[in-house]
Amino acid sequence: MIDQLSLTNFKAFRSADIRLAPVTLLTGLNSSGKSTVLQSLALLRQSYDSGTLLSTDGDDRHGGFLLDGDLVELGTGQDLLHEDFVSTEGEQVPLITVAFRTDSGSAYAWSARYAAEQDVLSLARVPKSGGPPDLWIADPLFSRGFQYLKADRIVPATSYPRSHHQAIGRGFLGSRGEHTVNFLRHHAQVVLADGPLRHPEARAHTLLDQVMAWMQELCPGVNLEAAEIPGTDSVRLSYGFGGTAGVDSSRRRRPTNVGFGLTYALPIVVACLTAAPGSLILLENPEAHLHPRGQARMAALIAAAAAAGAQLIVETHSDHVLDGTRLAVKQGRLKSSDTAIHYFRGNGAGVEIVTPVVGEDGTLSEWPEGFFDETDHTLDQLLD
Q: What per-residue confidence (pLDDT) applies to 135? A: 52
Domain extent, residue 125, equals: 2-21+28-141
Q: Is residue 130 part of a domain?
A: yes
Specify whether 35 is located in the same domain as 86.
yes
Q: Is residue 297 part of a domain?
A: yes
- Structure confidence by residue, pLDDT tens digits, 201-250: 999 999 999 999 999 999 888 999 999 999 999 999 999 987 543 344 56
Taking Cα atoms as reference points, which of 271, 278, 279 lies closest to residue 301?
A: 271
Q: Which CATH number fits the domain that encloses residue 183?
A: 3.40.50
For residue 59, pLDDT over 60 is answered with no
Specify whether 77 is located in the same domain as 123.
yes
Tell me the CA distances in angstroms from 68 to 48, 50, 119, 327, one per residue in order: 13, 11, 7, 39
Structurally, the chain folds into a number of domains equal to: 2
Specify whether 188 is located in the same domain as 82.
no
- Structure confidence by residue, pLDDT tens digits, 133-152: 455 565 789 888 999 999 99
- Structure confidence by residue, pLDDT tens digits, 75-113: 999 999 998 888 877 678 899 999 999 988 888 899 999
CA distance 41 to 19: 14
Q: What per-residue confidence (pLDDT) applies to 11? A: 94
CA distance 301 to 207: 14
Phi/psi at 374 (5° precision) = -70, -35
Q: What per-residue confidence (pLDDT) applies to 378? A: 82
28-32, 212-216, 234-238, 353-357: segment of lowest average pLDDT:
28-32
E-state strands within the chain:
2-10, 13-19, 23-28, 64-66, 95-102, 107-113, 120-125, 147-149, 160-161, 222-228, 234-241, 280-284, 311-315, 339-346, 351-354
**Reported confidence tier of residue 130, pLDDT bands at 50, 70, 90:** very low
Collapse the DSSP code of 24 into the 3-class scheme (helix H, G, I; strand E, B; otherwise coil) and give the result: strand
Q: Is residue 156 part of a domain?
A: yes
